[in-house]
Amino acid sequence: MELGKQVEARLTGRREAERQRRWERLWREYHPRIWRLTARLAGDPDLADDLTQEVALRALEGLDGFRSQSGEFTWLYRIAVNVVLGHRRRRSLETVGLDTPDAAHLPSSTPAPEASAVAAELAPVVRAALDRLPEELRTPLVLQVYEGLKYREIAAVLEIPVGTVMSRLHSARQRLREELEEYVL
């Protein structure tokens, strides 16, 4: 092989190895969070593995184009949100059932079976109400309530102003309050 080609091949190999290392570090660090996010946005932990896989593929494809301006976390979250929303649209479901038996009990700091039994009844109702929210209200709420993101972070992930995040969260809570009136009051 010509020297130039050898050098090129070695450089390509080195770049590829570096890319691979970068990818592994990134995915090792964020994989658990992305899994949780997809499970919560999809409303179904059973779907999370597949969706996380799709996020990984898209992120790997876009890794070369990613320049850390927006932050790895924001970038990956944005991909995950798009993957899940795309999935929900593809399934053309008005609502997605959220009743996952193993998650229906209220985590309690005391082993109180009675409280858990009540929550077992309420959890599907709450999930259904959450699921009936329009996507533009539901997604920021999931990011805030379950992922614990700050408004600024939500704004970065969804690419909307912070004020819009605040108003959407307000609307989402109002809607949920109306739907769950009997449980909230």
Partner 1 sequence: MSCEPIRTWLGAYRDGELSPLRHWRCRLHVRWCAECARELRALARLDTLLQAADVVPALALTKEVGRSRLGPPPGVTRSDTRSAEWNGVTFPTLPSSPVPAKSQRCHLILRTVLPVLVAFAVVALAFLPRRDSQGVPLERAVEALMRAPAWQSSHLVVRSRDGRTVTEQWVSLPHSLRTEVRRDGRLTEVTVQNERESWIYRAERNLAVHSNVRPYVPESHGVGAFHGPLNSLRRLRQSADRVGGVNVSERRVREADGRLLRVFTIAVDVARHHPGRELPADDGIRRDVVSLDARTGRLVRWEDRETGNRYEVDAYDVSPPVGTFTWQAPAGARMVEHGDWWKARAGRSVAAVENSTTRVVVHAVDLSAQGDVYLTVSKKSESGNDRITSWPARGMLMEDDRGRIYLHYQTSGMTSWPDTVALLAFTPLNPARKGDPPPRRVTVRLLPVHRPHTTPVDHARELLLARRLRVSAAATWAAPPVSPFDLFESPIGRTGFVDELRSRARRAYRADNPCGAFG
Q: Segment 43-102, which members bind partner 1 (CB under 8 A)? A: 43-45, 68, 70-75, 92-102
22 contributes a contact to partner 1 by CB under 8 A: no
Closer to partner 1 by CB, 2 or 94: give it.
94
CA dist., res. 152 & res. 160, Å (int): 9
> Which residues, 6+ apart, have CB-to-CB distance to 5 below 8 Å?
none
Stretch that binds partner 1, among 11-19, 55-63, 79-87, 113-121 (CB under 8 A): 113-121
**Sites for partner 1 among residues 132-171 (CB under 8 A):** 132, 141, 144-146, 148-153, 156, 162-163, 166-167, 169-170
Count Cβ atoms below 10 Å from residue 62 Cβ, excluding itself: 12
User: 2 vs 182, which CB is nearer to partner 1?
Assistant: 182
Task: Please choose, out of 1-9, 11-19, 58-66, 112-120, the segment that lies near partner 1 by the rule CB under 8 A.
Answer: 112-120
Query: Residue 119 has which token pair?
Result: 């929550």
Residue 44 in 3-state DSSP?
coil
Nearer to partner 1 among residue 9 and residue 103 (C-beta): 103
* CA neighbours closer than 13 Å in the CB half-sphere of residue 52: 19
Give the interface size with partner 1 as a residue count (CB under 8 A).
84
Question: How far is Cα 78 from Cα 40, in angstroms, rounded to an integer?
Answer: 14
